[in-house]
Each structure stands twice: as structure tokens, then as C-alpha cells.
Structure 1
């Protein structure tokens, strides 16, 4: 049994058979939040049904982005949830050097390993304090999965190492436009 199992809100959040009495909504546990593009991408989201959006030399795909001289790789930023075995993930973007970017592409095509690299968080994370220049390390993910982004310092690093509380997770959801707290209280 996890410590969070004692919290009625957690049990309601993970009970797919429970219907919220105020609106009929159902929940099935932790859901991740992803970003369609790096924050500085000026050309709008990836159009529905398209795998690539190109404007001049700028190019956005589902996993890679090029904007002027900047290069970005889509990755996963894990945040363990205290008192449970669950992990919440941001599907975010990391800015990397052109050399690391092309090394990552080569590794995707089996032309050598991707050993990871220095990176910078390229999205503001709702509900998480982070500086404008959040230095990170981008590490290879398990086979077939996106790489992992790990903060080098500050509150984000602490959250990745110590985990976030269930209340912090609910605050993240609320800050991203999905405030589910009232639906778990009733």
C-alpha cells in the first residue's frame, strides 16, 4: 500500500468507476502534460494531421525542431509523486547544440550511440518554478522512448529528486488549465 492510498482524493482520482457527482466526470489517475513546440517557436502549433510544419528554413516536427540557429529535441521530464509509485511527466522540449542535435539524429538511424548532452529547458512548466535559463542534462531514454531531461539545479532539480506532493500535482494541472481539485473533493 502506498501512503497516498490514505488520501480520499487520491483514491477518487484513481477510481475509473467513480463519477463526479457535480458533473459526471471520471478520472483514471495520473495524466501527463505535453507541449506541441518550444516556447520560442513563433509559427503556431503543428497543424492537425501533419507530421511537419515548415516556414522558410524553420521546421517543427513531432520530435525535432529547428528555428534559425537553435535546435530542439522533444523529451520527457519526469517528476515522481511522493507517497506513491507513480511518476508524472512533462512532454517538453530541450534546446541543444547543433552538434548534439545531429548526433541525436544519427543515433536514431543507428549511426552511433547518443550518450546525452547538456541542454536547456525550452518550455515554461505550469506550476513549477524555474528560471529562464534552466540548465539540464538530456539523457537517452529506454529503448524506443524519448530522452529524459534532468535539471542541474534549483527547484526543478529538487522536485525531480524528492518528488512532488499530490497537492503540487493538482496545482500543476490547475495551472495548465485543468483544475480537477473540486471534482475530487465531492
Structure 2
């Protein structure tokens, strides 16, 4: 049992069988926030298309090339204080061409070596902003996107100290997903 299990809002967020009394909405736990493309991508959303190519620019679900710049879609985990769960952003990281190509090499058979490296945050994150923040991109297993860890600032503080549940709810609201009213009462 986690400390947050004592918070009725937390229990409601994790109760798949519960319907919100005002609208019938149901939740099944934390909601991660992903991004379709880096903020600088000028060619619109990818939507359901496997990739978008405009001239030399290309966007897939995990990779992006834009005007000679290179991006990898990652996860940026943030622990939630009082629980053993993590919320994740799904932002894009701008990398060097060498790091991008090393990551691309992991798709080969046999896979290449990818050790991660420095990157810059390519999305403005609600609650943090920080586009262009210095990050460390770290590999995970071959089937999972790499993880990002902030070098300093409020984002690093959140990754090392965690977010309170109220701060997470505020972050959702800032991202346009205010679920607080749906968790208030049965």
C-alpha cells in the first residue's frame, strides 16, 4: 500500500470500474503525455500516417529529420511522491547526427551499439517549459524508447524528488486535461 492510497482522488484515478458522476468518464491510472512531433516541426501532425515527408524533412513515430537537425522520440519519467508509480512525458530530443545514426543502428540485424548521449528537449512541457533544456539520453531495451534525464533546473528536481499528486493534477490541467473535477466525488 502506498501513501497515496489514502487519497480518495488517487483511488478514483486508478479504479477502472468507477464512472464519474457528472459525465461517466472512467480512468485506469496515470495518463502519460506524448508529442506527435518536435515543436519546431512546421509540417503539421503525422496523425495516423506512418511517416510524413516534405522535401528533405521526414517524421515517423520515433524519428525526425528537419533542416539538417535530428530528433528521437523518448520518454521522460517523473516519479510520483507517495507511490511507486511514474508519470512520463513522451517528448522529442534533438541529438547530434552521430547519436541519431547510432540509435538508428539499433534497428539493424544484428543491432549496433547505442550508449546514449547528450540531447536537447525539443518540446515545451506543461509545468516546466524548458524547451532546449540539456538532457542525457539513455538507452533502454531494444523494444522501448530511450529515456531522458534533465541535467539541471526544475525538470531535474522533479525527476529526482518526484511530483506531488496535486502538482501532477495541475500539470494535466495546464496540458488541457483538467481531470480534477472528475476525481472529486462519487
TM-score, normalised by the number of residues in structure 1: 0.95
Give me the CA root mean square deviation.
1.1
Quote the Cα distance in structure 2 between the aligned partners of 1:24 and 1:128: 31
Greater Cα offset, 140-149 or 60-69? 140-149
Contact 1:93 1:121 in 2 (8 A): yes
Quote the Cα distance in structure 2 between the aligned partners of 1:145 and 1:52: 19
> In the TM superposition, what is the alpha-carbon distance from 1:47 to its structure 2 partner?
3.6
Greater Cα offset, 16-25 or 148-157? 16-25
Runs of 4+ in 1 over 4 A off after TM superposition: none
Alignment of 1:62-141 (within 5 A): 62-109=61-108, 110-130=110-130, 132-141=131-140
Quote the residue 1:59 is aligned against: 58
Count of equivalent residues:
184
Quote the Cα distance in structure 2 between the aligned partners of 1:111 and 1:18: 44
> In the TM superposition, what is the alpha-carbon distance from 1:104 to its structure 2 partner?
0.9
Alignment of 1:123-162 (within 5 A): 123-130=123-130, 132-162=131-161
Greater Cα offset, 136-145 or 76-85? 136-145
Gapped regions of structure 2 (runs ≥ 5)? none
> In the TM superposition, what is the alpha-carbon distance from 1:129 to its structure 2 partner?
4.3
Contact 2:79 2:87 in 1 (8 A): yes
Contact 1:63 1:73 in 2 (8 A): yes
Contact 2:69 2:96 in 1 (8 A): yes
> In the TM superposition, what is the alpha-carbon distance from 1:68 to its structure 2 partner?
0.5
Quote the residue 1:2 is aligned against: 2
> In the TM superposition, what is the alpha-carbon distance from 1:134 to its structure 2 partner?
0.2
Alignment of 1:9-88 (within 5 A): 9-48=9-48, 50-88=49-87
> In the TM superposition, what is the alpha-carbon distance from 1:185 to its structure 2 partner?
0.9
Gapped regions of structure 1 (runs ≥ 5)? none
Per the alignment, in what secondary structure is the counterpart of residue 167 of structure 1? helix
Quote the Cα distance in structure 2 between the aligned partners of 1:119 and 1:51: 25
Contact 2:106 2:142 in 1 (8 A): no
TM-score, normalised by the number of residues in structure 2: 0.95
Quote the Cα distance in structure 2 between the aligned partners of 1:17 and 1:70: 46
